[in-house]
């Protein structure tokens, strides 16, 4: 038996990592892609020992990039979330962190002309048909790597990338509030009723109050060991998937809609110790939040979820707005989220309850390039 090899680049984007392919280097028959991506990541296997995957959702990702023929877009970008335990590749949503790697990739690969000191790259995410504008620092015709920007969840510093998710509302379902409500009551089998907010802004998200789960909201990876609470969260997520129309019956979402909707657990600003042992103060944030992605606590906070959280915080009637407004009045644009790895600022531009754009800052860098080999 022989192995196939495919040119690729391995990059960190924000707090995630992905194997990035030029679309032209993959088979024209896209039905073959998922099988290739599973083998690239080493799925299914909890260790992903025979592939590039890093055993958590944030490091089991694929991106495919190609030039765009649209005048207002430079490159097209398709995101794929590869599951770890089950052989599933999900292309139903976008990843905001990996999005931040697309601008630098496009510049370094010659898909976009490098302009100093800042190159603006307009990226069409094909999963959501939404545009992301990326402002990338450039030097000597290459995307800069070194800089003094710090993002929580990544050691050291890097070159600042300013990202703007344009018109992010209804990214997957076509509606900012897919259920038609700003708050819903879910009847969760074996657990009872719970109030949630479901929003689709950059990605579909279901928001749950920490207190309704009978947790503090400052938990870190120990939350993964609380099987009862994690099962409760998963059932809520699955019901939200049914409400969004991703599955016919909520039980199907465990295998058919594993990466959307995302889950955010929200609480009032609190003191806590983050993943790196830093003391985070309640006074440093507007909202305390934890994300759950593909059944595990996210070790930082997904950027698409950050944009959705910022939007929900700005819209009266959501549980996020109610919790955030316990401490501050949301007339300002910048909202600071306290998450597992520290704090992240989100710059929300609104027109009433219409979300015009959400801005975040990331760093990214190329880790390696070459060929990835997969078994036939």
Q: How confident is the model at residue 329 (pLDDT cuts 50, 70, 90)?
A: low
DSSP 269-293: ---EE-TTSPEEPGGG-SEEEEEEE
User: Are the beta carbons of 231 and 303 closer than 8 angstroms?
Assistant: no
Specify whether 161 is located in the same domain as 196.
Answer: no
Specify whether 224 is located in the same domain as 329.
Answer: yes
Strands 279-280 and 272-273: antiparallel
Checking if the pLDDT of 155 tops 70, the result is: yes
SS3 252: helix
- Does 336 fall in a domain? yes
CA 18 to the chain's CA centroid: 12
Residues 232, 233, 235, CA angle at the centre, nearest 5°?
65
Specify whether 240 is located in the same domain as 213.
Answer: yes
- Does 179 fall in a domain? no
Specify whether 202 is located in the same domain as 142.
Answer: no
- Does 319 fall in a domain? yes
Specify the CATH number for the domain of residue 87.
3.10.310.10
- Does 227 fall in a domain? yes
Specify whether 190 is located in the same domain as 163.
Answer: no
Give start and end residues of each alpha helix (H) in the chain: 33-41, 96-108, 227-243, 253-256, 303-314, 319-324
Q: How many domains does the chain have?
A: 2
What is the average pLDDT across 269-289?
95
Specify whether 217 is located in the same domain as 333.
Answer: yes
Q: Is the pTM of this model over 0.75?
A: yes
* Closest-CA residue to 346 (of 324, 326, 364, 327): 324
Specify whether 144 is located in the same domain as 96.
Answer: yes
Q: How confident is the model at residue 376 (pLDDT cuts 50, 70, 90)?
A: confident
Query: Which domain range does residue 295 map to?
Result: 184-348
How is residue 206 written in tokens? 């279901």
228-246 per-position pLDDT tens digit: 999 999 999 999 999 999 9
74-112 per-position pLDDT tens digit: 999 999 999 999 999 999 999 999 999 999 999 999 999
Burial of residue 298 (number of CB atoms within 10 Å: 0-12, 13-18, 19+): buried
CA distances from 236 to 152, 184, 267, 292 (A): 28, 11, 17, 12
- Does 241 fall in a domain? yes
Burial of residue 150 (number of CB atoms within 10 Å: 0-12, 13-18, 19+): middle
- Does 338 fall in a domain? yes
Specify whether 11 is located in the same domain as 149.
Answer: yes
Specify whether 155 is located in the same domain as 201.
Answer: no
Specify whether 160 is located in the same domain as 297.
Answer: no
- Find the range with the poorest average confidence among 36-40, 261-265, 329-333: 329-333
- Does 356 fall in a domain? no
Specify whether 90 is located in the same domain as 193.
Answer: no
* Closest-CA residue to 188 (of 261, 136, 242, 132): 242
Percent of the chain with pLDDT over 90: 94
- Does 102 fall in a domain? yes
Specify whether 334 is located in the same domain as 367.
Answer: no
């Amino acid at each position: 038996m022989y192995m196939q090899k495919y040119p690729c680049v391995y990059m960190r984007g924000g707090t995630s990592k992905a194997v990035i392919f030029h679309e032209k280097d993959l088979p024209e028959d896209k039905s073959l892609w998922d099988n290739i991506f599973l083998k690239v990541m080493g799925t299914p296997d909890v260790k992903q020992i025979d592939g590039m995957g890093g055993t958590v959702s944030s490091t089991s990702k694929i991106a495919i990039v190609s030039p765009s023929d649209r005048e207002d877009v430079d490159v097209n970008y398709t995101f794929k979330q590869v599951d770890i335990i089950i052989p599933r590749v999900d292309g139903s949503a976008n990843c905001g962190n990996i999005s931040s790697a697309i601008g630098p990739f496009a510049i370094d690969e010659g898909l976009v002309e490098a302009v100093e000191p800042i190159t603006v790259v307009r990226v069409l995410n094909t999963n959501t048909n939404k545009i992301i504008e990326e402002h990338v620092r450039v030097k000597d015709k290459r995307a800069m790597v070194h800089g003094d920007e710090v993002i929580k969840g990544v050691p050291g510093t890097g070159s600042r990338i300013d990202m703007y998710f344009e018109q992010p509302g209804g990214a997957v379902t076509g509606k900012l509030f897919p259920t038609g409500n700003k708050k819903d009551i879910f009847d969760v089998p074996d657990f009872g009723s719970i109030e949630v907010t479901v929003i689709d802004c950059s990605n579909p998200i279901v928001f749950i109050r920490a207190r309704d789960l009978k947790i503090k909201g400052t938990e870190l990876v120990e939350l993964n060991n609380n099987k009862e609470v994690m099962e409760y969260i998963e059932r809520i997520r699955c019901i939200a998937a049914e409400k969004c129309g991703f599955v016919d019956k909520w039980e199907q979402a465990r295998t058919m809609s594993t990466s959307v909707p995302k889950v955010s657990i929200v609480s009032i600003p609190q003191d806590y110790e983050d993943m790196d042992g830093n003391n985070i103060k309640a006074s440093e944030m507007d909202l305390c939040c934890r994300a759950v992605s593909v059944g595990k606590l996210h070790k930082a906070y997904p950027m698409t979820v950050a944009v959705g959280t910022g939007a929900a915080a700005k819209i009266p009637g959501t549980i996020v707005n109610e919790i955030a407004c316990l401490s501050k009045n949301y007339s300002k644009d910048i909202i600071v989220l306290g998450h597992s790895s520290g704090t992240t600022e989100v710059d929300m531009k609104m027109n009433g309850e219409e979300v015009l754009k959400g801005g975040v800052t990331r760093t990214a860098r190329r880790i390696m390039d070459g060929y990835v080999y997969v078994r036939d």
